[in-house]
Amino acid sequence: MGGLQKKKFERGSATNYITRNKARKKLQLSLPDFRRLCILKGIYPHEPKHKKKVNKGSTAPRTFYLLKDIRFLLHEPIVGKFREYKVFVRKLKKAYAKIEWSDVERLKENKPTYKLDHIIRERFPTFIDALRDIDDALCMCFLFSTFARTGKCHVQTIQLCRRLTVEWMNYVIASRCLKKVFLSIKGIYYQAEVMGQLITWLVPYQFSHDHPTDVDYRVMATFTELYTTLLGFVNFRLYQSLNLVYPPKLDSKSESEINEQNEEDYAMSSESYLEKLSALSASLARVVSSVEEEEAQLDQFPTEGEDMENMEAREKELKQEEKAKKLFEGLKFFLNREVPRESLAFVIRSFGGEVSWDKSVCIGSTYEVTDETITHQIVDRPSVDNQYINRFYIQPQWVYDCVNAKILLPVEDYFIGVTLPPHLSPFVEEKEGDYVPPEKLKIVAMQQGHKSVTEDEENEDEDSNEEAEEEEEDNDEEEEEEDEEEEENLKKLEEQRSKGKSLQVKVTPGKMKVENPARLEQEEKAEEKRLAIMMMKKKEKYLYDKIMFGKKRKVREANKLAAKRKAHDDAEKAKKKARK
Amino acid sequence: MAAARKPKRVAASQPGFLTLKSSTNPTDLYSSKRKRVNKNKKKNWNKHSDINDVEDFLEDIRHQERTTGGLLAEKPDDSLFFVDIGQPKKIEEKGKSSRPLRIDLILQHDSLVPPPKDVLAYQQPNAKKLRRSAQLAAKGVAPRRQKLLLNRRTAPRPTKNAITEANNNPNRDYYDIWGQETKDTADPWYLQQTKKKLVKRPEKLNAKPSVLPAVEVIAPGGSYNPDFFAHQSLLQEAHEIEVVKQKEEHKIERQLAYNKDDAATETIFQEQVQGLVEGEDDDEVWASEGDEGDEEQEEEDGAVGAIAVAQKKTERQRKRERAEKVKEQQRLAEKQEVEKKQQLFQLRTIKTSIKKEDQKTKERQTKRKAKQEAQKAQPRRLGRLKFQPQDMEVQLSDELADSLRRLKPEGSVLKDRFKSLQKRNLIEPRERAKFKRRHKVKYVEKRAFREIS
């Protein structure tokens, strides 16, 4: 039989992949440069399905790239820039070694640089694509902006990151799109909804850095390089969408409000503007100084039946959202110096509140402590001397909890020295039958409009707590009860019959049996369900039973946890009382 | 020839002309060797005529002009002489500052010859020309000189683009990158060949290598002021991870540990037994050896026989084998035929079996798909090292802060981001390169001081 002998590893997956080292050599780049290029261009290593085939018979773990990807990289103009840079470094070193300072100067002046604009355009063909990937960029920029300027990375990078994050925060404030805040032990998680995209980012607490040694700073810096470019362009577009001036300018009205004294103490004149911006206390200037934006009315279309209901529901939702956006409107906050200023200012301002602080804390304070119109003062210390009567002294958690609950919570739980209720994560979404902590139930109850409870005294709060608990339990048990209800009905009937027998025969005037149509409907449904269960095949029945069992178990567990919690609370209460 | 000679004669008859031999010292020429020079070459005139006196004279004139601004002979006497009336009174010097700097003196114009006059400045403008130029200007035609000036390429300025163009420049400006459409008016072929048009990015590259979200929010137990149960569940989770780790550590320790007790008891036991069992052991060994020897011999015989047995088959044997083979084939064919016929009656069972097979494959497919889905969220093996998740951030119950002010942040966001990138398969896990010493360090005690030990 004819034909050449097939050689191994000359077709198939072995030719589709290329090892990292080979790729590097193909591109004529050093390993760090190659890594940087891959990060910038968004080309990631790939794990082949059949490693042994790809690796030409060896099973040693290696990093593989797709050959086509590397071929694509060959066309990148930045590769040339990398090579140029290499040569530049070599020349510079030589000049230094020869102590030729004029050469050093000249070389430094002609340092080869590159732009990433075309890469951004290529990787994110539309604005929405960019928005979807902005999470990472935000996290990285917020992280780098908190770095100390100690030479772990370029000072310029830190400054740029700071500028971009301040711009972003100002945008969020201007557009009021913040949704959730979560204070964790790691950092502060924020979530905002920008143009329909949910964007989550993590901001580290200030001054909390120890520099871990097992992190590759070069890689992180490369990512940041890309992300600063991306975030800048996104910011520009977002500012444009709100008719704001970019780069951001303070509103002339609000700028005049800021206390101008001692400006020199905070920052150099070159930096003071950014500092003022980052104070977040003033609103931004608009391109067209618009009149108060009229609230957009939903377009009304003639609709029928279900659509109408949907529309109404949506309208209601929208209204609620609008209301939530103006949560802190009309409130005036004052921050004491021990609370995290930036985070609180950001949150309060993005819900329409006014905020200020002591002028020695930071630039950009707008009013003093002595202002009589202040409604809330945020304090995080055991006691405050010379308090004002007409304002609440509350702990910072109140602000965050209000934002997450979308209503103004009663301030009583957050007074100075009071043990705070737990700070619940707004990112948890409970499914049916899960254990829900009572604090959350309370909040849900309040959201649904049990305002009467909240307006009452503190003492009744606890009661409402329990009530809510009970309610929830009721809800949980409803399904169980459905089954039981019928049995009860039957029993009642029987009893009535038996009673009827034992009693003397007596004719009583007939009563109109009031038929509750809703009730009837429910019964009918329950009956149907029961019949359906009866008609099930054995196999399906088995599955059904299993599912029901699982559900019940979940409910049982939740109940158990709730009971445990109640016992815990009772014990705590008892302890408190004993202490008193 | 005559024409050539004529100007020579004329030149020689003029008063300023210096003849070749008219050098100051004619004795010089005659005294030693007489030099013969062809005078028909201009080169030789220059070489052998002495013009030093003329040069000196001219130099003297130039010197006079430079230093005094004209010939001394033509100057009036007043400017050359003065009446000596003794030392002038010394003016009080105001220190060194009044004296001009030496550098200024050097740079001073030291010649007294006035600069040449600008001839054009004295020229009267031509009315006709002026009219014409005015006409041209009205038409918009610039004069030649101006045109040249305009057309002159300006020298490329030393731009400081390096600083402004750096990517991380904090004051860099952004623009609407998505709004503007790039206008490619040029020939696409030209753009492609000159690499001005970028290669289109394959769609596939925009797919993310992992389905995990960029930011994974910490569990509700990680709140700074957590709900009791959420915190407990988080602690439980952390505890389980820790237990698994510990188990592995223990396992390795156990495997590596040299168990002294076991080794000791074994050796003691052996020592005790050695003397007792020796005789029996020996006998058995011997006996077994003898047996083995016999068996070996037999085997050897058999083996030898097997090789030798390969004899030729007889014709009869072959025939019989062939017949048997045919028979066997027939039997099999018949059997198959029967089975096929039988299958007609087994249709139902076959159908069910097929159904079962189908169901099985379907199940397997779904399982495989589920597994693949689960794999998508898993970090892949992208290099030498496996992905190692970072330690869980957890605060024990007594570590929890009672207020935001007292909160001690746990873990590092930087590390979290880095690990997240690894987890999403964006970068391969690596470890810091270990520092390797190329030469061994030698410890030498210096004479200057002694190590306290």
Residue B431 sits at the chain A interface (C-beta within 8 Å): yes
ipTM entry: 0.77
Longest distance between any two alpha carbons in chain B, whole Å: 166
State yes or no: pLDDT of B28 exceeds 70: no
CA distances, B103 to each of B21, B76, B107, B108, B109 (Å): 49, 34, 6, 9, 12
Structure tokens at A187: 């950092």
pLDDT tens for each residue of A267-299: 556 667 777 788 887 777 777 655 444 444 545
pLDDT of B287: 39
Nearest chain B residue (CA) to A439: B227
Q: What is the pLDDT of residue A455?
A: 41
Across the interface, whether the CB atoms of B421 and A186 are under 8 A apart is answered: no
d(CA A451, CA A409): 10
Interchain contact B211–A (C-beta under 8 A)? no
Among the residues of A406-515, which ranges form H helices? 438-447, 451-455, 458-502
Nearest to B404 among A202, A232, A340 (CB): A340
Q: Which residue of B has its CA nearest to A71?
A: B199
Nearest chain A residue (CA) to B379: A47
Longest CA pairwise span in chain A (Å): 126
How far apart CA A525 and CA B265 sit, in angstroms, is 78
Query: CB B432 to CB A214 under 8 A?
Result: yes
Q: Are B215 and B421 in contact (CB under 8 A)?
A: no
Q: State the pairing for strand pair A354-357/A197-204.
A: unpaired
Residues of A in contact with B213 (CB under 8 A): 135, 200
User: Parallel, antiparallel, or unpaired: how do β-strands A354-357 and A392-394 relate?
Assistant: unpaired
**Whether A45 and B214 lie within 8 Å, measured CB to CB:** no
Q: Which structure tokens are listed for A340?
A: 């995290």
Closest Cβ opposite residue A185 in set B224, B403, B415: B224
Q: Do B209 and A44 touch (CB under 8 A)?
A: yes
What confidence tens digit (pLDDT) does each residue in B105-144 have?
888 877 888 878 777 777 777 888 888 888 888 888 887 8
Determine contact: B391 vs chain A, CB below 8 A.
no
- Using pLDDT thresholds of 50, 70 and 90, give the confidence band for residue B299: very low
Neighbouring residues of A332: CB distance < 8 A, sequence distance ≥ 6 = A353, A354, A355, A356, A367, A371, A373, A374, A375, A376
Strands A17-19 and A64-66 turn out to be antiparallel
Q: Does B36 touch chain A (CB under 8 A)?
A: no
Judged against a pLDDT cut of 50, whether residue B345 lies above it is answered with yes
Which residues from chain A sit within 8 angstroms of residue B218, using beta carbons? 182, 184-186, 189, 425
Answer whether A113 sits within 8 Å of B173, measured CB to CB: no
**Residue A259 near residue A248 (C-beta atoms within 8 A):** no
Least confidently predicted of A502-516, B279-293, B346-360:
B279-293
Mean pLDDT of B279-299: 43
pLDDT value of position A334: 92
**Predicted local confidence at residue A471, as pLDDT:** 44
pLDDT at B280 over 60: no
Q: Of the candidates B176, B395, B409, which has its C-beta nearest A205's C-beta?
A: B409
Interface test with B, best of A128, A160, A186, A336 (most B CBs within 10 A): A186
Q: Which residues of chain A have pLDDT under 70?
A: 1-2, 208-209, 253-271, 288-306, 450-507, 580
Between B413 and A251, whose confidence is greater?
Answer: B413
Nearest Cα residue to A37 out of A114, A112, A121: A114
Contact A156 B381 (CB under 8 A): no
B269-276: average pLDDT: 70
Most A-contacting residue of B159, B223, B391 (CB-CB within 10 A), to test interface: B223
Three-state DSSP at A199 gives: strand
Structure tokens, A313: 């529901």
> B372-403 pLDDT, tens per residue?
888 888 999 999 999 999 888 899 988 888 88
Q: Among partner residues B168, B217, B393, which is closest to A225 by beta-carbon distance?
A: B168
Q: In this complex, which of B168, B213, B220 lies closest to A228 when CB atoms are compared?
A: B168
With beta carbons under 8 A apart, name residues in chain B contacting A465: none
DSSP at A400: H
Residue A402's pLDDT is 93
The C-alpha atoms of residue A354 and residue A331 are separated, in whole angstroms, by 6
Which tops the pLDDT comparison, A428 or B271? A428
Run of H or E including B277: helix B260-309
Among B194, B216, B218, the residue to mutate for chain A (most A Cβ within 10 A): B218
What pLDDT, on a 0 to 100 scale, did the predictor assign at position A475?
A: 46
Where residue B444 falls among pLDDT bands split at 50, 70, 90? Answer: confident
Range of lowest pLDDT (A193-197, A430-434, B6-10, B35-39): B6-10
Contact A187 B168 (CB under 8 A): no
The token pair that represents B333 in the structure block: 């064919």
**Chain-chain contact of A186 with B222 (C-beta, under 8 angstroms):** yes
Peptide bond into A247 cis (omega under 30): yes
Does A182 sit within 8 Å of B412, measured CB to CB?
no
Instruction: Please tell me if residue B166 touches chain A, with a CB cutoff of 8 Å.
Output: yes
For the stretch B200-239, pLDDT in tens is: 899 888 888 988 999 999 999 999 999 888 999 999 999 9
Which residues in chain A have their CB less than 8 angstroms from residue B222's CB? 184-186, 425
- pLDDT for res B306: 54
pLDDT tens across B87-99, in order?
A: 877 665 555 567 8
Q: Which of B157, B160, B177 to mutate to test the interface with A (most CBs of A within 10 A)?
A: B177
Q: From the CA of A159, how many Å to the nearest CA of chain B?
A: 6
Q: Which residue of chain B has the CA closest to A144?
A: B414
| CB-based contact B383 A182, cutoff 8 Å | no
* Strand ordering across the sheet containing A332-335: A354-357, A332-335, A376-378, A392-394
Say what the pTM is.
Answer: 0.67
Nearest residue of A to residue B223 by CA position? Answer: A184
Q: Do A122 and B195 touch (CB under 8 A)?
A: no
Measured between CA atoms, the residue of chain B closest to residue A116 is B167
Q: In B, which residues are within 8 Å of A425 by CB distance?
A: 217-220, 222-223, 230
| Cβ proximity of A523 and A490 under 8 Å | no
Span A311-352, pLDDT tens digits: 888 888 888 888 888 889 889 999 998 999 999 999 999 998
- Among the partner-chain residues B195, B224, B384, the one whose CB lies closest to the CB of A61 is B384
pLDDT at A478: 44
* Nearest-Cα residue of chain A relative to residue B218: A184
**Amino acid identity at A267:** A
Nearest beta carbon to residue A120 from set B170, B177, B405: B177
Predicted confidence at residue A207, as pLDDT, reads 72
Q: Classify B241 as helix, strand or coil.
A: helix
Q: For B93-170, where are the alpha helices, taking DSSP H only?
A: 102-107, 127-139, 144-151, 161-165
Crossing angle, helix A538-579 and helix A458-502, to 10 degrees? 130
Is residue B2 pLDDT above 50, yes or no?
A: no
pLDDT score recorded for residue A487? 58
- Kindly state the tokens that stand for A286: 């608009």
Cβ contacts of A414 on chain B, cutoff 8 Å: none
User: Is A185 within 8 Å of B393 when comparing Cβ atoms?
Assistant: yes
Closest Cα in chain A to B413:
A204
Tell me, yes or no, if B178 comes closer than 8 A to chain A by beta carbon: yes
Of A219, A216, A201, A226, the closest CA to residue A146 belongs to A201
Q: By the 8 A CB rule, do A271 and B199 touch?
A: no
Q: Which tokens hold the place of B119?
A: 């001839």
Q: How far is A388 from chain B (nearest CA, A)?
A: 23
| pLDDT band, residue B434 (cuts 50/70/90) | confident
**Of the candidates A375, A455, A370, which has an alpha carbon nearest to the alpha carbon of residue A409?**
A455
Question: Which residues of chain B have a CB within 8 Å of the CB of A246?
Answer: 174
Which residues of B are less than 8 Å from A220 in CB distance? 414, 417-418
**pLDDT at residue B91 in the model:** 64
- List for chain B the helix, strand, coil content (%; round to 5): 55, 0, 45
Structure token pair of residue B314:
């007889």
What does the domain layout of chain B look like in residue ranges? 317-361
Interface residue B382 vs chain A (CB under 8 A): yes
Per the CB < 8 A criterion, the answer to whether A63 and A20 are in contact is yes
Tell which B residues from 254 to 293 touch A, by Cβ distance under 8 Å: none
Are the C-beta atoms of residues A5 and A13 closer than 8 Å to each other?
no
Q: Would an 8 Å CB–CB cutoff place B219 in contact with chain A? A: yes
